[in-house]
Amino acid sequence: GENVEQHPSTLSVQEGDSAVIKCTYSDSASNYFPWYKQELGKRPQLIIDIRSNVGEKKDQRIAVTLNKTAKHFSLHITETQPEDSAVYFCAVLTYSGGYNKLIFGAGTRLAVHP
Amino acid sequence: DGGITQSPKYLFRKEGQNVTLSCEQNLNHDAMYWYRQDPGQGLRLIYYSQIVNDFQKGDIAEGYSVSREKKESFPLTVTSAQKNPTAFYLCASSFKEGPQHFGDGTRLSIL
């Protein structure tokens, strides 16, 4: 089955710096890759996603890049702010027995220090 | 998301008791999912359903049961067979190949 690895597990940056989180996956047939942000005690919220027909997508300070050949995708946050502090999860849409489901990475705890 | 409603927000279970967590969506999504999240951990899939009257076990289905009698509703029952039920339970829904949107969750604790 699909395996999703996410690194690093924790990331600490100074306000204004960039943060990069990387995920690798195993199923070359996967074609949809969302990223979620979860603040403490709250639900995960979709922040950006990418499909396999594009290599990069940007939304203000957030971008996602996808390398289908190497089977990895990354979240880039520029000009980080304290409110970016949260846990970030990557996910990969996988197909099995006629059903699709998201496989989530283990999460990255990002701390942005003022 | 405003279109996915989970209730209750907090739930306490006595030993030997079954409890049911509610999840309702008005987004016309075909698929619905239940996840369990333990403190400081990731999301583990319990059950999922892509059409009415059909559902599949996820990675940790033991001790749980679900039903999907209506498109809008996907209740989760935590049975007495689940010996460690204390966790944050999240319901999500999506179109077949779209992003999943989550409810606000239910915190279940043992009395």
pLDDT of residue B33: 96
Residues of B in contact with A93 (CB under 8 A): 97
Residues of B in contact with A64 (CB under 8 A): none
pLDDT of residue B2: 57
pLDDT of residue B54: 94
Residues of B in contact with A44 (CB under 8 A): 43, 90, 102
Task: Give the CA distances from residue A100 to residues A9, A12, B42, in Å, rounded to whole numbers and listed in that order.
Answer: 26, 34, 19
Residue A1 pLDDT greater than 80, yes or no: no
Task: Give the CA distances from residue A97 to residues A1, A101, B16, B56, in Å, rounded to whole numbers and listed in that order.
Answer: 11, 11, 35, 10
B47 touches chain A (CB under 8 A): no
Tell me the per-residue pLDDT of A35-71, one tens digit each, with 9 for 90 and over: 999 999 999 999 999 998 889 999 999 999 999 999 9
Around A37, how many Cα atoms within 13 Å sit in the side-chain half-sphere?
A: 14
Tell me the per-residue pLDDT of A10-30, one tens digit each, with 9 for 90 and over: 999 999 999 999 999 999 889
Residues of B in contact with A86 (CB under 8 A): none
B102 touches chain A (CB under 8 A): yes
Residues pairing with A49 in the sheet:
A34
**Residue at token pair 């949107």:** B101
Task: Give the CA distances from residue A43 to residues A3, A79, B39, B42, B108, in Å, rounded to whole numbers and listed in that order.
Answer: 23, 24, 13, 12, 15
Tell me the per-residue pLDDT of B24-51, one tens digit each, with 9 for 90 and over: 999 999 999 999 999 989 999 999 999 9
Q: A6-10, A93-97, A109-113, B79-83: lowest mean pLDDT where?
A: A93-97
B 57-96 near A (Cβ less than 8 A):
58, 90, 96
Between CA B9 and CA B5 the distance in angstroms is 10
Q: Phi and psi dihedrals of A85, rounded to 5? A: -65, 125
Residue A3 pLDDT greater than 70, yes or no: yes
B101 touches chain A (CB under 8 A): yes
